[in-house]
């Protein structure tokens, strides 16, 4: 969950000249978003597994383990959503630049 | 993964307290049990807690200093059984004494309260970690 979203290189490149604009930074944002999504997916799967095992009477699975797994998945999903919102917001901001 | 580490640590504490609660309940339930597996009266059980590595914390700053907790073993109290004179009891010995478990219900109640309070504390630290993560997500909103 430590992948930072950095849009500043993109802005730097805009200042240098549009011919220098490469899709590299865009893949950076995409990569960190992809990682966040994959994390969220994994944690969500863990939460589902935990709930299923609890429902099936697995003695090693306590109530708090299920709730914690669910809470973790919720945080991860919200992190991914926030990341997506930020990226889209930044994109819109750039697209609205007056020329 | 940042706040997830705190959540893992709290979770290990909650599991440990759950085990302590189970053991205290077992001791209380068997406070009058005169026949246990292996012969003799039930013997009071006690948990031994030990600090363990936190899963998923490797690579984090000070990962070695942050420790979770786990029940490493459950021991039997070596205190002698409580002898009560009751010649009519089927488990009475030649002198007419019955060996009752070395369980003191008052002590078990105190253990239970401790486990319950520690569980509450664990839930509070868990909630705090979740709230902090939510606050962090709220920065950009």
Give the Cα separation of B28 and B26 in Å (integer).
5
B82 DSSP 8-state letter: E
Structure tokens at B61: 């700053």
Pick from B7, B18, B137: CB nearest A72: B7
Beta pairing partners, B75: B46
Residue A92 has pLDDT above 70, yes or no: yes
Is B11's CB within 8 Å of A68's CB?
Answer: yes
What chain A residue is nearest to B56 in terms of C-alpha separation? A1
Average pLDDT over residues B28-42: 90
CB B79 within 8 A of CB B102: yes
> Tens of pLDDT along A34-81?
888 999 999 999 999 999 999 999 888 889 999 999 999 999 999 999
CA-wise closest residue to B135 among A31, A82, A10 = A82
- Long-range contact list for B52-59, CB < 8 A, 24+ apart? B52/B12, B54/B5, B54/B8, B54/B9, B54/B12, B55/B8, B56/B1, B56/B4, B56/B5, B56/B8, B57/B5, B57/B8
pLDDT one-digit tens code per residue, B114-140: 999 999 999 999 999 999 999 998 886
Q: What is the pLDDT of residue A31?
A: 86
Residue B1: the pLDDT is 58
Name, in order, each residue with C-beta under 8 angstroms of A99's C-beta and a sequence gap of 6 or more. none
What residues of chain A lie within 8 A of the CB of B2, using their CB?
1-2
Substitution target in A2, A4, A42, A68 with the highest count of B β-carbons within 10 Å is A68
More confident residue, B61 or A16: B61
Residue A35 with chain B: CB contacts under 8 Å: none
**Contact yes or no for B137 and A82 at CB 8 A:** yes
Region B10-35: what's the mean pLDDT? 93
**Strand B68-76, strand B82-85: pairing:** unpaired
Rounded Cα gap, residues B136 and B1, in angstroms = 14
**Is a pLDDT exceeding 70 seen at residue A87?**
yes
Instruction: Judge residue A75's burial from the number of C-beta atoms within 10 Å of its C-beta, 0-12 exposed, 13-18 middle, 19 or more buried.
Output: buried
A90 vs A25, more confident: A90
ipTM of the complex in this document: 0.75
* Cross-chain residue pair A1–B2, CB shorter than 8 Å: yes
Residue B41 makes CB contacts below 8 A (sequence gap 6+) with B33, B34, B35, B81, B99, B100, B101, B102
Q: What is the pTM of this model?
A: 0.77
- If interface means Cβ-Cβ distance under 8 Å, which residues of chain B face chain A? 1-4, 7, 10-11, 14-15, 18, 123, 126, 130, 133-134, 137, 140-141
Residue B134: list chain A partners with CB under 8 A: 75, 78
């Amino acid at each position: 969950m430590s992948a930072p979203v950095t849009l500043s290189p993109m802005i730097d490149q805009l200042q240098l000249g549009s011919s220098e604009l490469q899709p590299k930074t865009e893949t950076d944002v995409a990569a960190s978003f992809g990682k966040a999504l994959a994390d969220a997916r994994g944690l969500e799967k863990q939460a589902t597994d935990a709930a299923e095992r609890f429902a099936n009477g697995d003695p090693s699975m306590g109530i708090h383990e299920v709730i914690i797994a669910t809470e973790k998945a919720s945080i991860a999903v919200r992190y991914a959503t926030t990341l997506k919102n930020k990226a889209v917001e930044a994109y819109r901001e750039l697209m609205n630049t007056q020329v | 993964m940042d706040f997830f580490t705190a959540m893992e640590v709290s979770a290990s504490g909650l599991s440990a307290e759950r085990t302590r609660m189970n053991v205290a309940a077992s001791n209380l339930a068997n406070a009058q049990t005169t026949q246990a597996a292996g012969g003799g009266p039930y013997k009071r059980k006690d948990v031994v807690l030990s600090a363990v590595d936190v899963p998923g914390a490797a690579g984090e700053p000070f990962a070695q200093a942050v420790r979770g907790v786990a029940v490493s073993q459950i021991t039997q109290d070596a205190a002698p059984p409580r002898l009560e004179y009751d010649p009519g009891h089927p488990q009475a010995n030649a002198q007419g004494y019955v060996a009752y478990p070395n369980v003191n219900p008052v002590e078990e109640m105190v253990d239970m309260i401790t486990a319950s309070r520690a569980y509450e504390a664990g839930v509070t630290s868990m909630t705090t970690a979740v709230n902090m993560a939510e606050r962090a997500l709220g920065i950009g909103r």
